[in-house]
């Protein structure tokens, strides 16, 4: 199993690790098979633009690399644009992943969607902070 240079680079030097200050959307997802967990944090401004995004993961190297790339890809995007982010786009940006590791990128996509969902619920007053 070989990893692209981009994957290794994002694994060794992950971007946006930790919790975004003033996050107004937080999503946590897990993969039942491998037991890995990923948490995404986003801060959305009044115009609906994701000003900042970060992640924390108890996951494998591919989970670290894909969430690092996913946070980079949604920063500065609108909520609608970020919702279009697919795991394959993340994999493509990382110049590929071994087939056995594709599910890790799905976790990153799901975590982004969960964070946006949380933001929408808070915005619509369904949830108190
Ligand atoms: Fe589970 Fe990668 S092995 S997220």
- Average pLDDT over all residues of the chain: 95
Mutating to test ligand 1, I would choose from 30, 32, 34 the residue with most ligand atoms within 8 A of its C-beta, which is: 34
Per-residue confidence (pLDDT) for residue 1, from 0 to 100: 67
Residue with tokens 């493509």: 92
Ligand 1 environment, Cβ below 6 A: 31, 34, 36, 59-60, 62-63, 104, 107
Indicate the DSSP class of residue 101. G
Mutating to test ligand 1, I would choose from 31, 91, 110 the residue with most ligand atoms within 8 A of its C-beta, which is: 31
Ligand 1: centre distance to CA 87 (Å): 13
Q: What is the pLDDT of residues 29-84, one digit of tens each?
A: 999 889 999 999 999 999 999 999 999 999 999 999 999 999 999 999 999 999 99
Q: Quick check: is 34 catalytic? A: yes
Nearest to 102 by CA among 84, 86, 81, 85: 86
Per-residue confidence (pLDDT) for residue 125, from 0 to 100: 86
Atom of ligand 1 nearest to the CA of 35: 1
Per-residue confidence (pLDDT) for residue 14, from 0 to 100: 97
Cβ–Cβ contacts within 10 Å for residue 47, how many? 8
* Strands of 25-30's sheet in order across: 25-30, 37-44, 50-58
Nearest to 112 by CA among 98, 93, 81, 95: 81
Indicate the DSSP class of residue 22. T
Per the residue annotation, which of 12, 19, 34, 84 is the catalytic one? 34
Q: Quick check: is 104 catalytic? A: yes
Q: What's the pTM value of the predicted model, to 2 decimals?
A: 0.93
Query: How many Å apart are CA 20 and CA 30, to the nearest integer?
Result: 20
């Amino acid at each position: 199993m070989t990893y692209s240079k981009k994957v290794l680079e994002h694994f060794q030097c992950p971007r946006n690790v930790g919790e975004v200050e003033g996050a107004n959307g937080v999503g946590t997802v897990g993969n039942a098979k491998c037991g890995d967990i990923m948490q995404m944090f986003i801060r959305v401004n009044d115009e609906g633009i994701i000003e900042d995004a970060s992640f924390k993961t108890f996951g494998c190297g591919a989970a670290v690399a894909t969430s690092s790339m996913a946070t980079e890809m949604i920063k500065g995007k609108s909520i609608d644009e970020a919702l279009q982010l697919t795991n394959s786009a993340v994999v493509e940006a990382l110049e590929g992943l071994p087939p056995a590791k594709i599910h890790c990128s799905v976790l990153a996509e799901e975590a982004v969607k969960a964070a946006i969902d949380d933001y929408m619920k808070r915005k619509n007053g369904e949830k108190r902070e």
